[in-house]
Structure 1
Amino acid sequence: MNLYDIAIRRPVFTAMMMIALVVFGILGYQTLPINLLPSLDIPIVSVITILPGASPEVMESDVTDVLESAVNTIEGIKQITSYSGQGVSQVTVTFTLERDIDIAAQDVRDKVSGALGQLPLDAEPPIVQKFDVNSQPMLWMALAGLDARELSDYADQVVKPQLQAVPGVGNILVPGFREPMMRIWIDRDKLAAHRLTVTDVIVALGRENLELPGGFIEGPVTELAVRNLGLFETVDDFDAMIVATVDGRPIRLSDIGFTQLGVADERGGARYNMTPTLGIGVATRSGANLVDVNRAARQRMEELSKDFPPGLFYDVAFDGAEYVEKSIENVQVDIVYGAILAILVVFVFLRSWRSTFIVSLAIPTSLIATFGFMRVFGFSLNNLTTLALALSVGVVIDDAIIVLENIYRHQEEGESRVTAALSGTREIALAAMAATFSIAAVFIPVA
């Protein structure tokens, strides 16, 4: 007994299966992740290295060329591009589409690790990361109202950890952030009077501002770890540091200058409505629901704003979820319009409301059930998948029209409804399936 025989002879079972598919699709739609574009594993890996204070020429010769030579031997490379700027080097490796992005990224990490010994000692460890379309921040907020040091400190210590705890958040970017640091101001005349140089101060900082392991203190039944707390934490600690001993007298840092708590040099900045601000960019984790993540992040920020220090305020500069929702909503409206037009066209040619209603049932049943299978197979609701659903509106009723017309022909020949349904479906079932599978086969290479 074929599938269409079961569907015709057992109408209650058929109706329950259709209802089950519709319920399955509704449940899947409620949990479908919503993104602007589908999750694509583009085989692009970038290596970012920072060497503070280095010129672009030094970065190119000492960092970029070394890393390019290291990764150039990896199999499957299509293109290597690089950028060398003030204190930063970025090497972008593009692989062929056949390469698995995870394996390619691991190969790059292995090659970069082997080249670490050839990089300058002051260079920070290279950062190897994969390119992800959906990992770009789709929510930007502006934080302002305090001076640079207080603003950066509050964003780093309070706002950033709270936003990172939001489910689905993958990364938080803070452009304009200026890291707190101690600034040591040296009086040249005092330094010369004590017969010292700036190098002596630098050496003293490296010698005194240092924390070393102290080993263990062992007892009969206990063992205690010893730490040498040598790191300076306050301005007074730095000022009290002994730089050198001249003529038997210790020369402290306060004798030749002073220490000031400040922030890093301003190498860049952010403005919102012509006001100096600190940017907060929220990037979703791969596979997370963009709309839900942005909504939760905005809600968390609203809760934090109730406890902001006096003068601090924030504003939402850009929310990509609004654009995504609007875009997908427009496509969904187009799907509804397309379905209505398709039903009207069917009625014009069939000239029967009953036949039109039967054929039209294929549209909502097929589309709604598709949401459930999209959820099972890991698809998201995005511009491409909604466009695919729009294209399939006309396709899903083609077979229904052909089968219904053949059944109607058998009824005109005097057969009963059940016999006509069985005979009409059996005659063209294979042809209808062939037509449907041929259309699906066209899109298999694209998928």
Structure 2
Amino acid sequence: MAENSDPRAPQNRSAGAPQDRAARTATGREPAPHRGPAADGESAASEGPRSARHRERSVASAREEASQRAELAAHSVLELFTHRLLGVPGTLIGEPAAPAPKELKTKVLGWNYWWQAHLLDAIVDAGLRAHREHRSELAREWLQRGHRLLRGIRWHNGGTYVNSFFDDMAWLTLAVRRLDALSREVAGTGSAPAQDAARTLYPQLRRAITAETGGGAFWSKRLDFKNTPATAPIALALAHAGQAQTSQRLLDWLRERLFAEGQGYWDGIKLVAQQDGTVEHRVERNLYSYNQGTVLGALLETPGADLEHAEELIGLIAEKMTTSLEVEGTPVRILNTRGSGDAGLFAGILARYLTQAARDTRLASTARATARDLVLATAELLWAGRREFDPDLPLNEDGVDVTEVRGTPVAVFSPDASRPTSQTLPAGAPVQLSSQVQAWTILEAAARLS
């Protein structure tokens, strides 16, 4: 898709035309079952020249297929959800749902700043994938798209990157640092818009960190909730900026105040004013998958952090944040992806940092393999349960075959990887941006691991 041709937003279209592709890959072939690394004793060194070449071809084929899957997810999100902000050239924004809401109030207030940050992260993923594959022109297009989205976020947010939620700003900080890194890879220099955003955002993140409750970061400017959703990504952002001591202090606070042995990281601590003038510190004991992911990422990025705890956390994620099911007689364990709204992003965030763990050679091989297998298995089921359709067909007109694809298809992915799209998104049902960015993120993660 050329950069100067905007992706088409759906207009009076059903985003749920019933064409499941659960039994086929994009090329029409039966999907091959995922196989992990060779078992002990099955090294490439013991293979003959012919089998070694066959293995190399198989790896290359798997890598190409994983890339094609991620490419379709990327194209689908752009096609179904993104457009110029108010038609202004050089901008991009993601609609919260497809079909897009028509009410002006919903468009203005329901745009979800932090969903846009994760959309930007996925755009960076696609750009880095194109760069790895030596598709330099495509990588530059993704970089330009990232700049357009960043401009759209600022304009939609009233000309600033600042808002009332510190976790929102932490997510965007992480995304713009990655956009800057993509620019260095693709263009040979940093991204001025990303650096400008970071200069605005980092001081905001530091203001969230106070002495109340012994440390940690506030969730919002109401200053009544210290929680993991803000503290962990802020710790990660500060680690990226070379502020390891502050990052470690935040990790220590999380470990001391919110980590539950055998469970994981709780949500946070609410500061509740009492009638006698005191403040009660009330622990919210909800466990959310994405919180485990951002703590894991901060542990991996902070110099000197406890990597044994990172391995422990991967084990807890596998135990507490997954679903076990049987696929064609084979037991499979995948990340929990059930959820709508904000929760539609949770497993994608977790998969991003599990992928980082799977590639980190400092970790034990068993922990790395667990992280890798969870991401790949989840990606496989998301792909198998997708629905493809032609977005340019008039799907609401009589006599139209909704299974027909004349042009380039788009795919809709199930918000629950354990069930196909035909069960979770009936024909005509609105599709949320969050769940589709989540699927895109997971498929990009699988491409990175292939």
Output the TM-score relative to the length of structure 1.
Answer: 0.20
The structure with more strand, counted as a fraction of residues: 1
Output the TM-score relative to the length of structure 2.
Answer: 0.20
